[in-house]
C-alpha cells in the first residue's frame, strides 16, 4: 500500500481499547494500525480509567494521553498537539469534545467512528422488551437518534461498519453519502496454510458462544440460550456441552453455570480464537443489536459454522445461499439448525467454505482500508468546500457549540468551586 502524506491523527477514545474484550476494541486497533501503516503519527487520548486488559499502545508507537472531560486543559492540549485529523470514538465523545476541537483546531478533519449506530441498538432493545417490531417511525422519533444523527452531520466524515446502517442513514435519515464512509472490519486474507491448520470436523466437539457480558445483546442471548434453546439442543444431544465465554462476567451469568445441563459459563477466554476453533458450532441467538457482529466474523476466521438470527446476520451475508451456517429466528428452528450442523459433516464443511468466501468477498478484497485513506486525503484538500456543502452540519455545529460550550464551562466552574 502506498504511503500517504505525513499526518498526525488524534483519536479520542470512549474507553482504552481492549481488543481481547470486545469487537469494538479490535476495530479500534485495526484503525490505529491502518494509520500507523501510512507512516502517520497517532496519539490516543481518553478520559476513561485505565484497565488491566487495555492494549499497551506505546508498544506500537502510539502516544497515550489521559484527558479530562469538561476541562479547559483539553483546549491547551489539543491546541499544542495541532492534529491534522481528529477521530471521535462514538458520538458521545464528539458531543463532549467536538466543539473544543473546532474552536482550537478549526482546520483539523473531524471523523466520527460510530462503532455501530447506538440509537438503532437502543431502539431495538426497547422494542424487544415491549415485544413489538422496531419501525422506522420509532427510529425517527428517538431522542438517541436525534443526538447521534446530529453528531454525524457535525462531523466531516463518519465511519459506518454495516451496509445495512449505510442504507438506513441515507434512505431514512437523508444523510448525504459524502458524509459517510463504509468501513467494516479490516481483515487480512486467510492463507491456505491457515485454513488447513484449523481443526477438522472430527477433531472438534461441543458448542460455543462468546461476547462481552456487559453488552446487553450478548447477555440477552445467554438468557435466551439458557431458557429456550439449549434445553432443545441438549434433549437430542445429551453428551454435548455449551461453553460460554465473555469478558466482564456478571453475577447473573455465573449463576447460570450448570455442569449437569452442559451449560458451562467460563468467563474471559485467554485465547478467543482457540476456544472458537475447538468448537463444532458457534451459537449467537441475538434478538437486538446493531453493526457487524465480531463473534460471527471470528467464527468464520476459525472455520467454525454458526447459527444466528436475522439480526445477528445483518450486514454479513449477501444472499440466502451463501451463509456461514444457518439463520433462524425461533427457538425450535434455531435448535434444529444447531443440531443439524453439529451432526451433518457435509453441511458443516459447506458452511465453513461459505464462511471463507464471505470473509474474502465482503471484508478482504474490496480494500476498504485504502478507500478510507484516499477519502481522508481528498477531504483534507477540499475541507472548506466540503463543509460549505454541508449546511445542516454548519448549522448544528453553531447551535450545538453554543449550548454545549456553556454547559461544559458551567460544569468546569462548578467542579473548581467544590
At 405 the pLDDT is 63
Is the domain of 60 the same as that of 114?
yes
At 168 the pLDDT is 97
CATH number at 78 reads 3.40.50.2000
Counting the structural domains of the chain, the total is 2
At 248 the pLDDT is 93
Phi/psi at 282 (5° precision): -100, 135
What does the pLDDT look like over 221-276, one tens digit per residue?
A: 999 999 999 999 999 999 999 999 999 999 999 999 999 999 999 999 989 999 99
At 2 the pLDDT is 35
Measuring CA to CA, which residue among 209, 289, 294, 287 is closest to residue 246?
A: 209
What does the pLDDT look like over 156-212, one tens digit per residue?
A: 999 999 999 999 999 999 999 999 999 999 999 999 999 999 999 999 999 999 999
Reported in sequence order, the residue ranges of 250-377 that DSSP labels E, i.e. its strands, are 263-267, 281-284, 306-308, 325-327
At 316 the pLDDT is 83
Q: What span, in angstroms and rounded, lies between the C-alpha atoms of 256 and 293?
A: 24
Is the domain of 297 the same as that of 249?
yes
Q: CA quadruple 44, 48, 51, 53: dihedral positive or negative?
A: negative
At 235 the pLDDT is 96
Q: What is the pTM of this model?
A: 0.90
Residue 2 lies in a domain: no
Residue 369 lies in a domain: no
- Residues 76, 102: contact at Cβ < 8 Å? no
At 295 the pLDDT is 95
Is the domain of 218 the same as that of 358?
yes
Is the domain of 204 the same as that of 321?
yes
Is the domain of 251 the same as that of 280?
yes
Is the domain of 146 the same as that of 20?
yes
At 3 the pLDDT is 44
Residue showing cell 444447531: 338
Residues of the domain holding 310: 192-364
Q: What span, in angstroms and rounded, lies between the C-alpha atoms of 266 and 253?
A: 9
Residue numbers in the chain where pLDDT is lower than 50: 1-4, 319-320
At 275 the pLDDT is 96
Is the domain of 172 the same as that of 200?
no
Alpha carbon distances (Å) from 340 to 10, 86, 240, 272, 416:
49, 48, 13, 24, 63
Amino acid at each position: 500500500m502506498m504511503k500517504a502524506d505525513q499526518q498526525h491523527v488524534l483519536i479520542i477514545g470512549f474507553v482504552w481499547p481492549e481488543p481481547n474484550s470486545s469487537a469494538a476494541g479490535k476495530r479500534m486497533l485495526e484503525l490505529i494500525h491502518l494509520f500507523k501503516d501510512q507512516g502517520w503519527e497517532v496519539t490516543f487520548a481518553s478520559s476513561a480509567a485505565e484497565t488491566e486488559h487495555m492494549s499497551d499502545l506505546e508498544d506500537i508507537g502510539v502516544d497515550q494521553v489521559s484527558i479530562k472531560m469538561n476541562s479547559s486543559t483539553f483546549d491547551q492540549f489539543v491546541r499544542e498537539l495541532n492534529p491534522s485529523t481528529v477521530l471521535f470514538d462514538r458520538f458521545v465523545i464528539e458531543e463532549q469534545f467536538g466543539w473544543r476541537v473546532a474552536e482550537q483546531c478549526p482546520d483539523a478533519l473531524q471523523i466520527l467512528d460510530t462503532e455501530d449506530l447506538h440509537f438503532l441498538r437502543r431502539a431495538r432493545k426497547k422494542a424487544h422488551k415491549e415485544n413489538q417490531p422496531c419501525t422506522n417511525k420509532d427510529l425517527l422519533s428517538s431522542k438517541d437518534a436525534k443526538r447521534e444523527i446530529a453528531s454525524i452531520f457535525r462531523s466531516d466524515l463518519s465511519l459506518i461498519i454495516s451496509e445495512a446502517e449505510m442504507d438506513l442513514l441515507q434512505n431514512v435519515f437523508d444523510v448525504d453519502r459524502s458524509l459517510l464512509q463504509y468501513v467494516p472490519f479490516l481483515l487480512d486474507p486467510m492463507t491456505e496454510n491457515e485454513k488447513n491448520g484449523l481443526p477438522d470436523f472430527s477433531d472438534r466437539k461441543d458448542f460455543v458462544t462468546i461476547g462481552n457480558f456487559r453488552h446487553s445483546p450478548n447477555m440477552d442471548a445467554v438468557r435466551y440460550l439458557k431458557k429456550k434453546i439449549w434445553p432443545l439442543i441438549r434433549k437430542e444431544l445429551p453428551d454435548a456441552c455449551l461453553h460460554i465465554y465473555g469478558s466482564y462476567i456478571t453475577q447473573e451469568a455465573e449463576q447460570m453455570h450448570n455442569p449437569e445441563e452442559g451449560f458451562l459459563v467460563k468467563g474471559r477466554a485467554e485465547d478467543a480464537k482457540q476456544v472458537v476453533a475447538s468448537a463444532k458450532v458457534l451459537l449467537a441467538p441475538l434478538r437486538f443489536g446493531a453493526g457487524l457482529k465480531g463473534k460471527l466474523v471470528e467464527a468464520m476466521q476459525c472455520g467454525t459454522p454458526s447459527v444466528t438470527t436475522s439480526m445477528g446476520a445483518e450486514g454479513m451475508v449477501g444472499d440466502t445461499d451463501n451463509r456461514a451456517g444457518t439463520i433462524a429466528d425461533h427457538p425450535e428452528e434455531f435448535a434444529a439448525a444447531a443440531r443439524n450442523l453439529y451432526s451433518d459433516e457435509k453441511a458443516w464443511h459447506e458452511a465453513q467454505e461459505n464462511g471463507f468466501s464471505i470473509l474474502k468477498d465482503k471484508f478482504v478484497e474490496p480494500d476498504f482500508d485504502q478507500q478510507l485513506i484516499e477519502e481522508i486525503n481528498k477531504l483534507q484538500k477540499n475541507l472548506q468546500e466540503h463543509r460549505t456543502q454541508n449546511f445542516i452540519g454548519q448549522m448544528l455545529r453553531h447551535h450545538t457549540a453554543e449550548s454545549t460550550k456553556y454547559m461544559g464551562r458551567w460544569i468546569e466552574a462548578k467542579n473548581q468551586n467544590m
